[in-house]
Amino acid sequence: MKKILITGSSGLIGSVIIKNLGNKYEFSGLDIKPNKNYPELKTFTNSNNLNSILPAFKNIDTVIHLAANVSEATEWDLVLNNNIILTKNIYEASKINNIKRVIFASSNHAVGNFEKDFPYKTIVEGKYDEIDINKIVKIDSSVPIRPDSDYGISKAFGEAVARYYFEHHSIESACLRIGTVRPDNSPKTDVRHFATLLYHEDLAQLIDKCIEKEKLDFQIFYGVSNNKWRFWDLDHARKTIGYEPKQNAENER
C-alpha cells in the first residue's frame, strides 16, 4: 500500500477520503485533533512550525494537503498563519523528506470573482431561463486568478507554491479547485450547489486518480461533479488523469 499523509485529516474531506479509499492506501494524519470517526488513524499534532511537523512526513509517498481555515470569511491573521505559512511549510517538509507528490486542496474561491459575471452569476442564482446552457463557456485552469476573499488569496498562493516546488524541486502537484462538499452529500440547501456540488464518490475518485497517475507534473483540476449547470471545466481532468465523475446534482431536483 502507498503511504498517504492527510493534513487536516479530521475534517469532512479527510473523512470522505479515508472512508472511500481506506482499503487501498495506508493513511496517516496531521491535525490539531484526531479524527473522531477514525480514532485508529495515526495522527501527528499539527503546527505552523516546520521542524515540529517533519516527523509526520517520514516514509510518506504522497501528501494530501487539506489543512486550512476553510471559510471565505476567515480573517487575515488566521489565513496568513493557517493557510499561507502552513502550506509553504507542507511543501518544504515534503522536499526535505524527498516526497515527490502533493495533492493540494485549492478552492473555487481562487477564481471566485467570476461568479459576479454573466452567466455564472445567473447560474448560481438559479435563473436558468435567462441562459442558453449550450453557450456557457466553462471556467478552466487557464483563466486569470480572481480570488474573492483573503481565503481565496491563500488558495491562489498555494497554487503558486505548488508551481514553484514543481519547477525547482520536482515535486508534482495536483491543485484541486474544489467546489462544494457537503456533509449530507446533497445540493438541496442552496441553489448554487446544483452547479458546484462535488459528491463524495466523485471526490474519492478524483483523489484516487491524482494518486495513481504515473506522470502528473503540475496540474490544476476543478473538483466538481458532472452537474448539468456546472460552469467549471472537466475536460482537462478527463484527458489528464481519466477523471469521470458519475453524479449529477440535477437528479435531485
Helices marked H in the chain = 12-21, 50-53, 76-78, 86-96, 120-124, 150-169, 193-196, 200-212, 235-241
How many Cα atoms sit within 13 Å of 175 on the Cβ side? 27
Contact 143, 110 (CB under 8 A): no
Question: What residues have CB less than 8 Å from 72, skipping those under 6 apart?
Answer: 109, 112, 148, 149, 151, 152
* pLDDT for residue 189 is more than 90: no
Residue type, 152: G
- The pLDDT value recorded for residue 221 is 98
49 vs 24, 103, 161, 218, CA distance in Å? 31, 20, 17, 26
Q: Which of 6, 10, 39, 40 is nearest to 25 (CA)?
A: 6
User: Residue 29 — pLDDT band, cuts 50, 70, 90?
Assistant: very high
pTM: predicted TM-score of the whole model, two decimal places = 0.97
Q: Taking the domain 3-252, which CATH number applies?
A: 3.40.50.720
- The pLDDT value recorded for residue 47 is 87
At 68, list the grid cell.
Answer: 486550512
Angle at Cα 222 formed by Cα 86 and Cα 11, nearest 5°? 45
- The whole-number average pLDDT for the span 149-159 is 98
148 vs 112, 116, 124, 195, CA distance in Å? 5, 10, 15, 18
Alpha carbons 57 and 65: distance in angstroms, whole number: 12
What are 62's strand-pairing partners? 4
Alpha carbons 159 and 245: distance in angstroms, whole number: 23
Low-confidence winner among 5-9, 25-29, 70-74, 193-197 (lowest mean pLDDT): 70-74
Alpha carbons 104 and 153: distance in angstroms, whole number: 15
- The pLDDT value recorded for residue 46 is 86
Residue 139 is given by DSSP the state: B
Alpha carbons 175 and 163: distance in angstroms, whole number: 9
